[in-house]
Amino acid sequence: MLRLYNSLSREKEIFKPLRKGNVSIYVCGVTPYDTTHLGHAFTYVFFDVLIRYLAFSGYKVNYTQNVTDIDDDMFKKAREEKKNWKRLGDFWTKIFLSDMKSLNVLPPTHFIKATDSINKMIEIINALLKKGFAYKNKGNIYFEVSKFKRYGRLSKFSKKQMILLSKERGGDPNDPLKKNPLDFILWQKSKSGEPFWLFDSSSISLTAGAQGKGKGRPGWHIECSAIANKYLGDQIDIHGGGKDLIFPHHESEIAQSESYTGKSPFAKYFLHTAMVLCGGEKMSKSLGNLVMIRDLLLKYSPGVIRWTILSYHYRQPWEFEEKELKISEDYINKINEALKQKSKSSGFKIIGDRYLKDFICAMNDDIDTPKVLRVILRLSKRIQKEKNKSNIEGLQEVLQTIINTLGFNL
């Protein structure tokens, strides 16, 4: 049976979806103000493989991903480049989708912009206000963390740690309008030149306007709760993203979602991908140590990039070194040679059964892609050594099944 490492329990758990035969997955998407880097690809290629394997295992998957197209970083970048924030977001969203397509990442069932979900966010915020989980102060609306006793259950950080991380990751624990440093923004007043929505009437204006009464925009965390609820329901099976989203983003999502619906858990399993490093530091836009997918595609095939990514377990941090891409290139060539091996008659599927079992066993152990790649190499070698030509097609069929499930287009 499939076992996945759940960040909530810090254990590998047997996967049992909430609804038999159906799996709902929500993965946090990009903030589109720059191009796709290898850290992004590591996350989205992994979840692509997970979704393909769930489909291989007979599940019907509903996969939703958001785009944070309204955000402080978006506005900052737009000002720097003297561009309209919406056109900037649309441009980089298209680049991201193009990069994912190049890597043979399947599109989500629902790919939703934050700006297309404002009414749902307002609906949730109003409900939180009525239930006493949120409060207003001078045009801002905050979630009151003290009202949600399970805050911190996912991250397991102390209050001191949470305050420090909140400051590093876009929060403002020193905001004088807050009752508690950990209270987080649900709705904030728009600054001059920023887009705004009129909260009380739910009317929308995407035209930047002057600061005024009732003019505001949503906070970061509320968009994911709103989009997940609208497209997947009150409770979901798997929530994913990079490990750096555990706090405050996913922690806050849990608090506002469970407070809104009255149902727990918001997500049954939380899966988080590790960080990709470059020069000893986490790959990030702020540090400027990015390895862009577009640049890699100029030198290497999508299969080579995908192989390099999957040679690391999704929970294993790793340092990018270009020499690994050259090694991956050799492996891809060997697999292509095995697939081209000629045979005169149909093979016997039974000859490949042990390789298929090894593949399933590795995938069921928390999606162990490095082990699966070793199975692929063993199988490719076996095909090239096979003397009985009638067996080759059977082995090739198994090889094709495995590489298809891992998303290789060879």
In a domain, 226, yes or no: yes
CATH of the domain at 328: 1.20.120.640
In a domain, 301, yes or no: no
In a domain, 99, yes or no: yes
Q: What is the pLDDT along the chain (410 residues), one digit of tens a residue?
A: 999 999 999 999 999 999 999 999 999 999 999 889 999 999 999 999 999 999 999 999 999 999 999 999 899 999 999 999 999 999 999 999 999 999 999 999 999 999 999 999 999 999 999 999 999 999 899 999 999 999 999 999 999 999 999 988 878 999 999 999 999 999 999 888 888 888 764 444 434 343 445 689 999 999 999 999 999 999 999 999 999 999 999 999 999 999 999 999 999 999 999 999 987 777 776 667 789 999 999 999 999 999 999 999 999 999 999 999 999 999 999 999 999 987 655 545 556 789 999 999 999 999 999 999 999 999 999 999 887 767 888 899 999 999 999 999 98
Amino acid 343: pLDDT: 64
Tokens 């739910």 belong to residue: 202
Q: By C-alpha distance, which of 391, 376, 297 is closest to 337?
A: 376
Tokens 């709705």 belong to residue: 187
Same domain (yes/no): 326, 218: no
Amino acid 211: pLDDT: 43
Same domain (yes/no): 113, 50: yes
Same domain (yes/no): 93, 223: yes
Contacts of 299 (CB under 8 A, 6+ apart): 325
In a domain, 51, yes or no: yes
In a domain, 216, yes or no: yes
* Number of separate domains in the chain: 2
Amino acid 344: pLDDT: 56
Same domain (yes/no): 369, 260: no
Same domain (yes/no): 240, 361: no
Same domain (yes/no): 275, 337: no
Domain that holds residue 187: 15-282
Q: By C-alpha distance, which of 342, 282, 348, 292 is closest to 322?
A: 292
In a domain, 287, yes or no: no
CB 399 within 8 A of CB 384: no
Amino acid sitting at position 311: S
Amino acid 286: pLDDT: 66
CATH of the domain at 143: 3.40.50.620
Beta-bridge mates of residue 188: 217
In a domain, 4, yes or no: no
Same domain (yes/no): 167, 22: yes
Amino acid 215: pLDDT: 83
Same domain (yes/no): 101, 250: yes
Same domain (yes/no): 190, 327: no
Same domain (yes/no): 276, 372: no
| pTM metric for this prediction | 0.94
In a domain, 42, yes or no: yes
Same domain (yes/no): 243, 374: no
Angle made by CA atoms 349, 354, 357, in degrees to the nearest 5: 105
Cα(216)–Cα(22) distance, integer angstroms: 38
Same domain (yes/no): 103, 163: yes
Q: By C-alpha distance, which of 170, 186, 174, 182 is closest to 135?
A: 186
